[in-house]
């Protein structure tokens, strides 16, 4: 199987979708000649031209709103929001319009729209270029939310998101773009709502998303040296969520840690914890531990940034706490 | 031969009396519909809350008459007239206001979320300026597919201060999409008069189009003939590839912001004067020189239609509570 970067995998899904369906087009800031601020859309302008690879003004409300309108007319627009912090500018259109048109119209309308965005700490961008806001969108009925952590997943999931008939907010993580991984020769669509078990284990389940999947796998290797067997599960799509796979894993291991880069408070881990305690209450041998960022806007200085967001060591500590209880 | 646009700007001509009589009937239907829903709301029969467009019938009728069935519109919280004018049957709108399955949004929308995709009504919107970007997008889709259709956004003067309005005009003109932005300027953003919400005088709000290099067409929104001609010209321009039009219609809200609004903020004498001089239905009636008998005949017809709509709505089916989850996802 060929090895590609996460960035190339995203580009591959976009390219294939653009080739296959004339209704697919891209909109976003600096995505054309420049190829996107993360270089994801490099080369697409050359192949598909300016009608389908559309540079936009810095107008997130209009970008998302225009894509909504085009989607209502049967197109499949893909929007790139440069940083997920800037999603906040388009919240009205996403939350009040994209997510609600189908219900408000009594099923007359569909909004087949994909919003790609990225964020994440690890390079000292400061407070306005690195937030992890995925949990906000999980709270909105009508949206779907994806957060892919590997090249294979990001490609297969993006393909599915583009062809889904609902608005999908698709999160990529900045620090994952150069990460390499094997992908099948032919793109295999990955259904939304299906978790991936990255590593099987018997003592603790770590449910992790985004960058924390990789940190959790590192933590699992460390834990193994102490004789602790860690299972790492990546839900991949937060909405819909593969509750069954997560609950089944915890029933097997009897302990659970949730891990994401977003702040812990009211983060996605809180929802996971609620689902797990309900679905595996009688199996649990320890309180569910949550790993996430400390509750602060992200500071600039590398030493502070490093301390605020979670790493493998934080996951490992949480794993040890759950095991220590039993 | 003068272009439609020149005719509109020169005071209008060439609209047959027959067509004007058709406009009159529709405007009166909208008026009687609005009066009826006010009455039924006050009687406690309608859930939620309502905004009626009494006084603004000519803008809805004139604009929608200039559109093709396959053209699309996005409306506002003051939507009943737009829906009627675009072709949604009154009984289905009434059923929606009663929360019935037979409603144009299946009981999921209500007064502020009327949808009828079949006739090109892409939704009334309860967020001021919220529907405007979607219209740019619909127009973009028409442009990309090479379809000769326009997308039309209705909004009020209050919306012209919202970021979505400015971002949409900027992007729409940049990409020269076939859109018409219809500014129904009634001089009030809820209770706030233009003088408190815009640095431009109320009659000059259309100038905002000029900042985006956009074509501006302005006519009196109480004169349905002018509105119709201006809308025809706007549609023509939008389809020509030169970009959208801001169609500025100066109109009058001859009622409160919502049903039950005591309008403490409004000069009663001024309102009385507006009702006497700016009622678009009275203005058209005078223009057509309709006799009392002719008026009574049209009136009884549209009144009966509205009464029948109420009967239809009351006889409608309540949704099952669990239907609530039916359309969250496609």
pLDDT > 90: percent of chain A: 99
Separation between Cα atoms, residue B178 and residue A184, nearest integer Å:
43
Would you state the pLDDT for residue A326? 58
What gap in Å lies between CA B59 and CA B57, rounded to an integer? 6
- Would you call B153 an interface residue with chain A, using a CB distance cutoff of 8 Å? no
Q: Please indicate whether, in this complex, the C-beta atoms of B326 and A107 are within 8 angstroms of each other.
A: yes
Minimal Cβ distance to A62: which of B133, B145, B328: B133
**pLDDT number for residue B9:** 53
pLDDT at B3: 45
Q: How many CA atoms lie within 13 A of B138 on its CB side?
A: 27
Looking at residue B36, its pLDDT comes to 98
- Structure confidence at residue A325 (pLDDT): 80
Tokens of A317: 């500590």
Q: Tell me if B25 sits within 8 A of B61, measured CB to CB.
A: no
Eight-state DSSP code of residue B323: G
- Closest Cα of chain B to A156: distance in Å? 20
Other beta carbons within 10 Å of B240: 11
Provide the CB-side half-sphere exposure for A18 (13 A, CA): 23
DSSP A4-45: EEHHHHHHHHHHHHHHH-TTEEEEETT-SSS--TTSTTTTHH
What integer pLDDT is reported at residue A164 of this predicted model? 98
B168 touches chain A (CB under 8 A): yes
Write a three-state SS string for B246-297: EEEEECCCCCCCCCCCCCCCCCHHHHHHHHHHCCHHHHHHHHHCCCHHHHHH
What is the rounded CA–CA span in Å between residue A212 and residue A215?
5
Cα dihedral sign, B137-B140-B145-B146: positive
Query: Which domains can be identified in chain B, with CATH numbers?
Result: 4-78+109-286 (3.40.50.970)
Q: Which residues on chain A are in Cβ contact (under 8 Å) with B330? A: 102, 110-112, 165-166
Among A155, A117, A153, A116, residue whose Cα is nearest residue A8:
A155
Q: State the smallest CA–CA distance between residue A262 and chain B in angstroms.
A: 26
Q: In the block, which residue shows the tokens 């894993």?
A: A249
Coil, strand or helix: which one is A117? Answer: strand
A106 and B109 within 8 Å at the Cβ level: the answer is yes
Neighbour-count burial of B289, counting CB atoms closer than 10 A to its CB (0-12 exposed, 13-18 middle, 19+ buried) = exposed
Find the closest chain A residue to B168 by CA distance: A62
Q: What is the phi-psi region of residue A47: left when phi exceeds 0, alpha when psi lies from -120 to 50, beta otherwise? A: alpha
Of B51, B78, B79, nearest in space to B258 by CA:
B51
> What's the whole-number mean pLDDT along residues A256-268?
98
**Is the CB of B206 inside 8 Å of chain A's CB atoms?**
no
A95 interfacial to chain B (CB closer than 8 Å): no
| Longest Cα–Cα distance in chain B | 60
User: A119 CB near a chain B CB, below 8 Å?
Assistant: no
Residue B128 CA, chain-centre distance (Å), reads 14
Mean pLDDT calculated for residue range A271-277: 98
Query: Mind listing the pLDDT tens digit for each residue in A155-195?
Result: 999 999 999 999 999 999 999 999 999 999 999 999 999 99
Between CA B19 and CA B191 the distance in angstroms is 36
In angstroms, rounded to a whole number, what is the distance separating the alpha carbons of residues A211 and B161?
Answer: 41
**B108 in A contact zone (CB under 8 Å):** yes
Tell me the CA distances in angstroms from B327 to A88, A103, A216, A241, B51, one per residue in order: 25, 5, 37, 18, 26
**Alpha carbon distances (Å) from A260 to A301, B94, B112, B241, B324:** 21, 49, 39, 49, 32
Cα angle A317, A139, A198 (rounded to 5 degrees) comes to 40
Q: pLDDT by residue (tens digit) across A76-129?
A: 999 999 999 999 999 999 999 999 999 999 999 999 999 999 999 999 999 999
Asked if A96 and B103 come within 8 Å (Cβ–Cβ), the reply is: no
Residue B219: enclosing H or E segment and its boundaries?
strand B215-220
DSSP single-letter state for residue A93? I
What CATH code is assigned to A196-325?
Answer: 3.40.50.920
Residue A120, token pair as written in the block: 């994440």
Residue A218, min C-alpha distance to chain B (Å)? 37
From chain A, the residues in CB contact with B142 under 8 A are 73
**What is the token pair recorded at A226?**
């102490």
**Six-digit token string for B152:** 């039309």
User: Least CB-CB distance to A102: which of B107, B144, B330?
Assistant: B330
Domain A3-182 is of which CATH architecture? 3-Layer(aba) Sandwich (3.40)
- The DSSP code sequence of A191-254 is -TT--EEEE--SSEEEEE-THHHHHHHHHHHHHHHTT--EEEEE-SEEES--HHHHHHHHHHHS
The interaxial angle of helices B163-174 and B132-145, nearest 10 deg, is 20
The mean pLDDT of chain A is 97
Q: Nearest-CA distance from B104 to chain A in Å?
A: 8
Give the closest of A64, A65, A165 to B330, CB-based. Answer: A165
Cβ contact B141–A75 (<8 Å): yes
DSSP-derived pairing of the beta strands B192-193 and B188-189: antiparallel
* Total CB pairs under 8 A between chain A and B: 143
Q: Which residues of A are catalytic?
A: 60, 129
Quick: pLDDT tens for B174-207.
999 999 999 999 999 999 999 999 999 999 999 9
The pTM assigned to this predicted structure is: 0.96
pLDDT (tens digit per residue) in A4-27: 999 999 999 999 999 999 999 999
Residue ranges of chain B with per-residue pLDDT less than 50 = 1-4, 10, 12
Q: How many helices (H) and strands (E) does chain B have?
A: 12, 8
* DSSP calls for B124-137: E-SSTTTTHHHHHH
Distance CA B297, CA B279 (A): 20
Q: What is the pLDDT of residues A134-154, one digit of tens each?
A: 999 999 999 999 999 999 999
The residue-averaged pLDDT of A239-246 equals 98
Q: What is the pLDDT of residues A120-132, one digit of tens each?
A: 999 999 999 999 9
Q: Does A141 touch chain B (CB under 8 A)?
A: yes
Burial A272-309 (b: 16+ CB within 10 A, else e): bbebbeebbeeebebebbbbbbeeeebbeeeeebeebb
Q: Do domains A3-182 and A196-325 have the same CATH topology?
A: yes
Integer Cα distance of A98 and B125 in angstroms: 12
User: Does residue A21 belong to the interface with chain B, where contact is any CB pair within 8 Å?
Assistant: no
Of B176, B229, B217, which Cα lies nearest the Cα of B63? B229
Which H helix or E strand runs over A308?
Answer: helix A302-308
Domain ranges of chain A: 3-182, 196-325
Q: Which two tokens stand for residue A60?
A: 């997130």
Sign of CA pseudo-dihedral A89, B125, B61, B235? positive
Question: Do residues A29 and A21 make contact, with C-beta atoms less than 8 angstroms apart?
Answer: no
pLDDT digits (tens, 9 = 90+) for A43-58: 999 999 999 999 999 9
**Do B171 and A66 lie within an 8 Å CB cutoff?**
yes
At residue A180's C-alpha, the angle toward residues A175 and A183, to 5°, is 130
Residue A315, CA distances (Å) to A136, A202, A213 in order = 23, 16, 10
Closest CA to A36 of A5, A81, A1, A84: A81
**Residue B106 to chain A, least CA–CA distance (Å):** 5
């Amino acid at each position: 199987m060929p090895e590609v970067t996460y960035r190339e995998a995203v580009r591959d899904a976009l390219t294939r979708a653009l080739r296959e369906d004339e209704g697919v087009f891209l909109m976003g800031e600096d995505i054309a000649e420049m190829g996107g601020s993360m270089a994801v859309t490099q080369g697409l302008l050359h192949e598909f031209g300016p009608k389908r690879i559309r540079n936009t003004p810095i107008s997130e409300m209009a970008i998302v709103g225009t894509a909504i309108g085009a989607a209502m007319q049967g197109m499949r627009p893909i929007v790139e929001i440069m940083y997920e912090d800037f999603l906040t500018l388009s919240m009205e259109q996403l939350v009040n319009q994209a997510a609600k048109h189908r219900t408000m119209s009594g099923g007359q309308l569909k909004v087949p729209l994909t919003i790609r965005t990225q964020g994440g700490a690890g390079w000292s961008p400061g407070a306005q270029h690195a937030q992890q806001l995925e949990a906000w969108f999980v709270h909105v009925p009508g949206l779907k939310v994806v957060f892919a952590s590997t090249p294979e997943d990001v490609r297969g999931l993006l393909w599915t998101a583009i062809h889904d008939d609902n608005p999908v907010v698709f999160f990529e993580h900045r620090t994952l773009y150069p990460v390499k991984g094997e992908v099948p020769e032919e793109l295999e669509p990955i259904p939304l709502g299906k978790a991936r078990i990255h590593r099987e284990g018997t003592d603790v389940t770590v449910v992790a998303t985004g960058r924390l999947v990789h940190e959790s796998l590192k933590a699992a290797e460390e834990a193994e040296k102490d004789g602790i067997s860690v299972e790492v599960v990546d839900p991949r799509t937060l909405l819909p969520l593969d509750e069954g796979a997560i609950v089944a894993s915890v029933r097997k291991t009897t302990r659970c840690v949730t891990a994401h880069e977003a702040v812990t408070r009211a983060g996605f881990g809180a929802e996971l914890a609620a689902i797990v305690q309900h679905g595996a209450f009688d199996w649990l041998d320890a309180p569910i531990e949550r790993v996430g960022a400390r509750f602060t806007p992200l500071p600039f200085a590398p030493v502070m940034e490093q301390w605020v967001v979670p790493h493998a060591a934080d996951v490992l500590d949480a794993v040890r706490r759950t095991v220590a209880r039993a | 031969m003068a272009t439609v646009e020149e005719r509109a700007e020169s005071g209008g001509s060439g609209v047959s009396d027959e067509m004007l009589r058709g406009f009159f009937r529709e405007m009166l239907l909208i008026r009687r519909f609005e009066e009826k829903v006010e009455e039924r709301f006050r009687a406690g029969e309608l859930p939620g809350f309502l905004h009626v467009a009494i006084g603004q019938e000519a803008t809805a009728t004139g604009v929608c008459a200039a559109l093709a069935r396959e053209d699309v519109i996005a409306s506002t919280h003051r939507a009943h007239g737009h829906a009627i004018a675009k072709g949604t049957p009154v009984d289905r709108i009434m059923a929606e206001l009663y929360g019935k399955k037979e409603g144009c949004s299946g009981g999921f929308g209500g007064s502020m979320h009327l949808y009828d995709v079949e006739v090109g009504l892409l939704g009334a919107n309860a967020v001021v300026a919220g529907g405007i970007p979607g219209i740019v997008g619909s127009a973009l889709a028409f442009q990309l597919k090479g379809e000769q259709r326009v997308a039309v956004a209705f909004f009020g003067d209050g919306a012209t201060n919202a970021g979505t309005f400015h971002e949409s005009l900027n992007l729409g003109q940049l990409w020269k999409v076939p859109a018409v932005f219809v500014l129904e300027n009634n001089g009030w953003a809820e209770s706030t008069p233009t003088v408190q919400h815009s640095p431009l005088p109320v009659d000059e709000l259309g100038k905002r189009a000029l900042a985006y290099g956009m074509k501006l067409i302005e006519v009196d929104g109480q004169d349905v003939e002018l509105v119709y001609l201006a809308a025809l010209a706007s549609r023509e321009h939008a389809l020509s590839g030169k970009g959208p039009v801001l169609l500025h219609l100066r109109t009058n809200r001859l009622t409160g912001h919502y049903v039950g609004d005591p309008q403490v903020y409004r000069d009663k004498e001024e309102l009385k004067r507006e009702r006497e001089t700016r009622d678009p239905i009275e203005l058209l009636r005078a223009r057509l020189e309709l006799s009392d008998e002719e008026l009574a005949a049209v009136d009884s017809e549209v009144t009966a239609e509205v009464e029948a709509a109420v009967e239809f709505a009351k006889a409608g089916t309540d949704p099952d509570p669990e239907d609530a989850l039916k359309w969250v996802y496609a």
